Amino acid sequence: NEIVSYKIAETQDVSLVLDTLKEALRKRNVIDTILHSDQGKVYTSKQF
C-alpha cells in the first residue's frame, strides 16, 4: 500500500481534484486502486 498521488492547494476546486486523479492514473494500473477523498462538493461535479 502506498500513496500514489496527492496535491496541496490554498483552495479545493475541481481542477485540483482532476489533476491529482490524472497523475495517479498515469503512475499506476487502476485495478485495485482506492481513491480516498476528503469529500466535498467538487466530488459531485459532472467533470469528476
The confidence score (pLDDT) of residue 4 equals: 86
- As a whole number of angstroms, the distance between CA 5 and CA 34 comes to 11
Report yes or no: 33 and 14 within 8 Å, Cβ to Cβ: no
Return the CA Rg of the chain. 11
pLDDT in tens, 3-48: 888 888 888 888 888 898 899 888 877 787 887 776 676 666 776 6
pLDDT band at 1; cut points 50, 70, 90:
confident
Report yes or no: 33 and 24 within 8 Å, Cβ to Cβ: yes
The confidence score (pLDDT) of residue 44 equals: 66
The confidence score (pLDDT) of residue 43 equals: 67
Closest CA to 24 of 15, 34, 38, 14: 34
